[in-house]
Chain A
Amino acid sequence: EIVLTQSPATLSLSPGERATLSCRASQSVSSSLAWYQQKPGQAPRLLIYDASNRATGIPARFSGSGSGTDFTLTISSLEPEDFAVYYCQQRSSWPPVTFGQGTRLEIK
């Protein structure tokens, strides 16, 4: 089973700042990694697929990078609606599908 480790657990930033979230895989997942955003009481929303491709309707301030075992989600300039929990997820080797434990992005 591929384990995904996200860091930091919590990130405290202000609107307008740049956010950098990390996801590390226990073995290579190539580029088969996605990022999701989840707000309280809502289902997750797909932001990024295949490490660096934005899903339909996702603003350009969201970008993904990385391959192999190290991945990054960057939000270039935080909007108030971006404060949420973010999860990475791999599909390189499944079952099982695995998610990271999440990074909570909170307002400073």
Chain B
Amino acid sequence: QVQLVESGGGVVQPGGSLRLSCAASGFTFSNYGMHWVRQAPGKGLEWVAFIRYDESTKYYAASVKGRFTISRDNSNNTLYLQMNSLRAEDTAVYYCAKGGGYCSSTSCPFFDYWGQGALVTFSS
């Protein structure tokens, strides 16, 4: 069955960096676009970034552009999110999500599978 398992969350200081990973299994990872979606405590869902199956296209939300970098390693079925210059407002649970759910395009952002989430918080 499809599994997405995030890791790398933790406590950071403002201005710090963190790299999240998402290990994928149960589907042909190299065929699908992948996304990161985050959720601040008690808030709604916010799309963060997208990477095409072949890394040829990447998109970012305006709130993270220039600070976050999405990448992937198709040989190891792993998605990454490098987060730099972190701010208090980046505090959230970060989910990786598989694209292409019920779409003709494997990039399309209908998310049929999600990871359990990785929590990023800030030290005061």
Determine if chain A interacts with chain B.
Answer: yes
Residues of B within 8 A of A99 (CB): 44-47
Q: Which of B9-17, B23-31, B58-66, B78-86 contacts A (4 or more CB under 8 A)?
A: B58-66
Residues of B within 8 A of A44 (CB): 45, 95, 111, 114
A50 interface contact, C-beta 8 A: yes
> Nearest-CB distance from B26 to chain A (Å)?
14
The total of interchain contacts (Cβ-Cβ below 8 angstroms) comes to: 62
Cβ 8 A contact of A49, one of B62, B101, B114, B116: B101
Residues of B within 8 A of A91 (CB): 103, 108-110
Most chain B CB inside 10 Å of its own CB: which residue of A53, A94, A95, A98 = A95
Residues of B within 8 A of A60 (CB): none
Residue of A nearest to B6 (CB): A43
Measured CB to CB, the residues of B under 8 A from A are: 35, 44-47, 50, 59-62, 95, 101-103, 108-112, 114-117
B112 touches A43 (CB 8 A): no
A101 touches B50 (CB 8 A): no
Q: CA of A98 to CA of B59 in the docked complex: distance in angstroms? A: 13
Chain B binding surface SS class: loop
Residues of A within 8 A of B50 (CB): 95, 97
A102 interface contact, C-beta 8 A: yes
Residue of B nearest to A87 (CB): B45
A102 touches B61 (CB 8 A): no
Cβ 8 A contact of A94, one of B102, B103, B109: B109
A100 touches B102 (CB 8 A): no
Residues of A within 8 A of B108 (CB): 91
> Nearest-CB distance from B38 to chain A (Å)?
11
A43 touches B102 (CB 8 A): no
> Nearest-CB distance from B13 to chain A (Å)?
26
A55 touches B114 (CB 8 A): no
> Nearest-CB distance from B113 to chain A (Å)?
8
A43 touches B60 (CB 8 A): no
Q: CA of A46 to CA of B110 in the docked complex: distance in angstroms? A: 8
A59 interface contact, C-beta 8 A: no
A46 touches B112 (CB 8 A): yes
